[in-house]
Chain A
Amino acid sequence: MSKNTVSDRFRRVDVDEYDENKFVDEEDGGENQLGPDEAEVDSLIRQGNLMEALHAVLKNPPINTKNQNVKDRAEGLVLKVLSSFKSGDIEKGVQSLDKNGVDLLMKYIYKGFERPSENSSAVLLQWHEKALSAGGVGCIVRVLTARKTV
């Protein structure tokens, strides 16, 4: 009996994995999602066409993919576009988006809050204010309840 009580490996077993009633999310094929096109977005920023850059970066969101790198790259790209907007143009940028676009933008904003870098939070807060007035609290609720997010 003393041999059995020595090892405590049993404490590291994840019992939830063996629960036959465990809820498993449906698998949506996310392998092909590559996120927004980096080249396209970069060229639009350089041209100064920020509205188009915003629309381009919100295309192909890597929602279903399991690849964390793709998600990080997409988030970085979105942050770049959001930071290059002038404060006065943010509202116009948000108005140009449709309902789904505002929801997606809010998802990226909260993702950006999770890992703040220099000055990113200030920019994101300005975008958050405008997106909130466009999408309402329902938009934020959808960010919180989304099972698969960017």
Chain B
Amino acid sequence: MAYHSFLLEPISCHAWNKDRTQIALCPNNHDVHIYKKDGTKWTKIHELKEHNGQVTGIDWAPESNRIVTCGADRNAYVWTQKEGVWKPTLVILRINRAARCVKWSPRENKFAVGSGSRLISICYFEQENDWWVCKHIKKPIRSTILSLDWHPNNVLLAAGSCDFKCRVFSAYIKEVEEKPGPTPWGSKMPFGEMLFESGGSGGGWVHSVCFSHSGNRLAWTSHDSTVAVAEGGKTCSVSSLSSETLPLLCVTFITENSIVAAGHDCYPVLFVYDSAKGSVAFGGKLDVPKQAAQKGISARERFQNLDRRASATQTSDQDLTTLHKNSISQISVLDGGRSNCAKFCTTGMDGGMVIWDVKTLESAMKDLKIV
């Protein structure tokens, strides 16, 4: 499990290119830095400076090699690489609050931006005007959109919001695509139609949403330390698990039944979804356990520990034995997609990035089964 420390500041967001040799990340300021893999080192090759506010979301389209960034300055830019230089194109989002998250659609002909203006901007390129235009999804969102994820059919979009709900909307743009076929989430999909809303009052801010590879399942994590999975179908079943950890900030599917999430506890956690039983279960903590050095403590140290910590042992629970030393804010799949992930990457508020290998984890932790 390779840990690389990029900065001392939090990494606000990151995105990988298609062959995973370059990573674009925001070092908690107005810029985007692109690093290239150089053996075991990472060297900075580009600095994308255009935003006037913190860059809150980056997404890198693998096929068309375009980067879209959104920031607290209420703007989004689409960057294309011409002769080795990244050139920005402004996209007017028509929002009056900061943009919070951005995602390219699977076919890369549109992208969605979630913002504090309580709406989602779906942007697509209009050929006649040579300009990116956007359409808004407003109802019934009542607070900031924190996270977005596209369904593989390029039309449905899941949004997690600060109004404690996770929703699935249709982002069908007739100018760029044909009518989509029916899905387990619904068959009529006009633009802006809400096909699913997580129920119940209360709960917590929905920090992260993720569709499974097939698009039939949707997982989200919430600030009340719960993780939930919804399965589309005639009866949309929702199963949730109240976890014992601190709130999880990011989630992804690594197979159709297994979910990895990470958050304020600084280590990724595995959850297993059983659709037959309709339940989400805790699968295990995924982190390399640090081998504590067992050396004898002198009597004097024992009393000192008793005095300071009210416990005679040396290591206190406060010491972080995890790879990340601060909350993990984003998780991305590197290899194998969401159906058979072999590697995934986490970045966090400690400015570090870890690439996790699923096979190594499986063999290192006994009782860990990735179904």
Residues of A with Cβ closer than 8 Å to B? 21, 23, 25-26, 28, 99, 103, 135-139, 141-142, 145-148
- Indicate if the CB atoms of A138 and B242 lie closer than 8 Å: yes
Looking at the complex, which one of A26, A137, A148 makes contact with B246 (CB distance below 8 Å)?
A137
Alpha-carbon distance A135/B242, docked complex (angstroms): 9
- Indicate if the CB atoms of A21 and B245 lie closer than 8 Å: no
**Contact code string B135-155 (vs A, CB < 8 Å = 1, else 0):** 000000011000000000000
* In the complex, chain B residues whose CB is within 8 Å of the CB of A142: 224-226, 242
Alpha-carbon distance A148/B242, docked complex (angstroms): 17
- Indicate if the CB atoms of A147 and B202 lie closer than 8 Å: yes
- Minimal Cβ-Cβ distance residue in A for B199: A26
- Minimal Cβ-Cβ distance residue in A for B224: A145
* B201–chain A nearest beta-carbon distance, Å: 4
* Interface: B204 (CB within 8 A): yes
* Interface: B244 (CB within 8 A): yes
* A94–chain B nearest beta-carbon distance, Å: 14
- Minimal Cβ-Cβ distance residue in B for A28: B201
- Minimal Cβ-Cβ distance residue in B for A147: B202
- Indicate if the CB atoms of A145 and B204 lie closer than 8 Å: yes
* B280–chain A nearest beta-carbon distance, Å: 12
- Indicate if the CB atoms of A138 and B202 lie closer than 8 Å: no
Alpha-carbon distance A146/B202, docked complex (angstroms): 6
- Indicate if the CB atoms of A141 and B201 lie closer than 8 Å: no
Alpha-carbon distance A139/B225, docked complex (angstroms): 8
* A71–chain B nearest beta-carbon distance, Å: 16
* In the complex, chain B residues whose CB is within 8 Å of the CB of A135: 244
Alpha-carbon distance A145/B225, docked complex (angstroms): 9
* In the complex, chain A residues whose CB is within 8 Å of the CB of B118: 21
Contact A138 B225, CB 8 Å, known A23-B143, A103-B242, A147-B201: yes
What is the total number of residues of chain B having a CB less than 8 Å from a CB of chain A? Answer: 19
- Minimal Cβ-Cβ distance residue in B for A136: B244
- Indicate if the CB atoms of A146 and B201 lie closer than 8 Å: no
- Indicate if the CB atoms of B225 and A141 lie closer than 8 Å: yes
Residues of B with Cβ closer than 8 Å to A? 118, 142-143, 163-164, 201-204, 223-226, 242-247
- Indicate if the CB atoms of A137 and B201 lie closer than 8 Å: no
Alpha-carbon distance A138/B247, docked complex (angstroms): 7
- Indicate if the CB atoms of B242 and A25 lie closer than 8 Å: no
* In the complex, chain B residues whose CB is within 8 Å of the CB of A23: 142-143, 163
* In the complex, chain A residues whose CB is within 8 Å of the CB of B224: 141-142, 145-146
- Indicate if the CB atoms of A148 and B202 lie closer than 8 Å: yes
* B202–chain A nearest beta-carbon distance, Å: 4
Contact A25 B223, CB 8 Å, known A99-B242, A138-B242: no
Looking at the complex, which one of A99, A103, A145, A148 makes contact with B201 (CB distance below 8 Å)?
A148
Extra inter-chain contacts (10) besides given A136-B243, A136-B244, A145-B202, CB under 8 Å: A25-B202, A138-B225, A141-B204, A141-B224, A141-B225, A142-B224, A142-B225, A145-B203, A146-B202, A147-B203
Contact A138 B246, CB 8 Å, known A23-B163, A145-B224, A146-B224: yes
* B18–chain A nearest beta-carbon distance, Å: 37
Alpha-carbon distance A141/B143, docked complex (angstroms): 21
- Indicate if the CB atoms of A141 and B163 lie closer than 8 Å: no
* In the complex, chain A residues whose CB is within 8 Å of the CB of B243: 136, 138
- Indicate if the CB atoms of A25 and B225 lie closer than 8 Å: no
Can you identify 7 A-B contacts, CB atoms within 8 angstroms? A23-B143, A25-B201, A26-B201, A28-B201, A136-B243, A138-B243, A141-B246
* B151–chain A nearest beta-carbon distance, Å: 27
* In the complex, chain B residues whose CB is within 8 Å of the CB of A147: 164, 201-203
Contact A136 B245, CB 8 Å, known A21-B118, A146-B202: yes
Top 3 closest pairs, chain A to chain B, by CB: A136-B244, A138-B225, A147-B202
* In the complex, chain A residues whose CB is within 8 Å of the CB of B202: 25, 145-148
* In the complex, chain A residues whose CB is within 8 Å of the CB of B143: 23
Looking at the complex, which one of A99, A136, A141 makes contact with B247 (CB distance below 8 Å)?
A141
* B162–chain A nearest beta-carbon distance, Å: 9
* In the complex, chain B residues whose CB is within 8 Å of the CB of A148: 201-202
* B225–chain A nearest beta-carbon distance, Å: 4
Alpha-carbon distance A141/B223, docked complex (angstroms): 8
Alpha-carbon distance A149/B201, docked complex (angstroms): 12
Alpha-carbon distance A88/B334, docked complex (angstroms): 51
* In the complex, chain A residues whose CB is within 8 Å of the CB of B201: 25-26, 28, 147-148
Alpha-carbon distance A148/B142, docked complex (angstroms): 18
- Minimal Cβ-Cβ distance residue in B for A132: B244
Alpha-carbon distance A146/B247, docked complex (angstroms): 13
* In the complex, chain A residues whose CB is within 8 Å of the CB of B163: 23
Alpha-carbon distance A25/B200, docked complex (angstroms): 11
Alpha-carbon distance A75/B201, docked complex (angstroms): 22
* In the complex, chain A residues whose CB is within 8 Å of the CB of B245: 136-138
- Indicate if the CB atoms of A137 and B244 lie closer than 8 Å: yes
Alpha-carbon distance A112/B163, docked complex (angstroms): 28
